[in-house]
Amino acid sequence: MPRHFSQTYNLGTGQGVSVLQLVKAFEAVTDTKVPYELKPRREGDIVSMFANTTLAKNELGWTAKYSLENMCKSS
């Protein structure tokens, strides 16, 4: 019986971006207003999180070649 193997890769720039930075970048490149409200962090919310792209680079030779703004434009 064949053995199936799968691997998960984190894809991204490896540089953290806040939700607000993402919203502002999207608004700037699409000339669209995104409604949002700033609220205090909720109990249990993490301070930060970003993708470690080392595995994708080492195993696939993959690195991001587009900026956050380019990614927002293409969405």
Using one digit for the tens of pLDDT, what is the confidence trace for 17-26? 889 999 999 9
Residue 39: pLDDT band with limits 50, 70, 90: very high
| 4, part of any domain | no
End-to-end Cα distance, the chain: 41
pLDDT given at position 50: 80
Asked whether residue 40 carries a pLDDT value surpassing 80, the answer given is: yes
| 43, part of any domain | no
Under 8 Å between Cβ of 67 and 28: no
Structure tokens at 33: 């207003």
| Residue 54: domain span | 9-37+49-74
| 42, part of any domain | no
Least confident span in 9-13, 20-24, 34-38: 9-13
Structure tokens at 43: 């109990």
| 62, part of any domain | yes
